[in-house]
Amino acid sequence: MIDLHAHVLPGLDDGPRTIRDALALLRQMADQGITTVVATPHMRDGHYDVTVDQMHREVERVNRAAVDEEIPVTVLPGGEVALVPDVSEAIRCGTVPSLGALGRYVLIEMPFQNVPVGVRQVLFAVQLQGVTPVLAHPERSFPIQRVPSSIEPFVQAGALVQINAASLVGQGGKDAERTAVRLLERGLVHVVASDAHDAVERPCLLGAARDRLVRLVGAEEAYRLVRDRPLRILEGRPFKQPRPRGKALWWKRVLGN
């Protein structure tokens, strides 16, 4: 599997505090079958002053330590970028990172409390830079929880959606779990990632999420969500978005499957 969203760099944000903690998280990921993880420290969110240079230095340090400890996980550069009005300008100037440092996809954090007016214009400005926005864990956003279908216009406009493994397996609260399942049923999810922060308090649950995905959407789509689409993103390749299904899977809820 490929984990497109995880906080694995020590001392930069609310992820692991030490290199030892970071390696413990990488071991946990390796045990679940993850071979590649993108380091996505918080960027430009008003809480952490992480720079692109800092992120790259820590990626190199963690990779060297992983090799020394014989942990078979490769860490790639990235970031979880706050959804702010000038994010497209930051992308143009190179002050925020893309996923895999290829300049094709950027992980953008959806706000929890509200979806600001003008979000579609902000995301459109990002796309004008030749960059596809990947919206991080919208199932945790209160407005999306109230109306899951409200994410659909962003997808129709070309954005991708990433949901968290913890949400899918019920560790992020009932509302997040319900919303994650609804988004999956509607075909509005492109990637599932761990958003892990450490091996204990906010561990990697991508293995458990993969197992539930198999039950919810089948083995082929589960593979696409945790391997095929993340790989395409990291290679900078486009892929055909799944068509939103509306309420096509209503019968599953009726039957309790």
Looking at the predicted structure, is the pLDDT value of residue 40 above 60?
yes
- The mean pLDDT value for 167-172 works out to 96
- The sheet carrying 2-6 orders its strands as 2-6, 36-39, 74-76
Spatial contact of 234 and 102, defined as CB atoms under 8 Å apart:
yes
The band of 118, judged by pLDDT with boundaries at 50, 70 and 90, is confident
Where does residue 237 rank: exposed (0-12), middle (13-18), buried (19+ CB within 10 A)? exposed
Looking at the predicted structure, is the pLDDT value of residue 251 above 70?
no
DSSP reduced 3-state for 147: coil
pLDDT score for 245: 60
Please state, as a whole number, how many other Cβ atoms lie within 10 Å of the Cβ of residue 253. Answer: 12
User: What domains lie within the chain, and their CATH numbers?
Assistant: 2-255 (3.20.20.140)
Over the stretch 85-116, which tens digit does the pLDDT of each residue have?
A: 999 999 999 999 999 999 999 999 988 877 77
Looking at the predicted structure, is the pLDDT value of residue 248 above 80?
no
Count H helices, E strands: the chain?
12, 9
Spatial contact of 34 and 75, defined as CB atoms under 8 Å apart:
no
Over the stretch 5-31, which tens digit does the pLDDT of each residue have?
A: 999 999 999 999 999 999 999 999 999
Separation CA 42–CA 103 (nearest Å): 18
Spatial contact of 160 and 135, defined as CB atoms under 8 Å apart:
yes
Which positions ≥6 away from 123 have C-beta within 8 Å?
A: 108, 133, 154, 157, 159
Over the stretch 129-162, which tens digit does the pLDDT of each residue have?
A: 999 999 999 999 999 999 999 999 999 999 999 9
The band of 246, judged by pLDDT with boundaries at 50, 70 and 90, is low
Looking at the predicted structure, is the pLDDT value of residue 254 above 80?
no
Separation CA 105–CA 189 (nearest Å): 16
Mean residue pLDDT of the chain comes to 92
Give 131's Cβ-side CA count (13 Å radius).
Answer: 27
Over the stretch 183-217, which tens digit does the pLDDT of each residue have?
A: 999 999 999 999 999 999 999 999 999 999 999 99
Provide, rounded to the nearest whole percent, the portion of the chain with pLDDT above 90: 85
The kind and range of the H/E element at 3 are: strand 2-6
Separation CA 176–CA 186 (nearest Å): 15
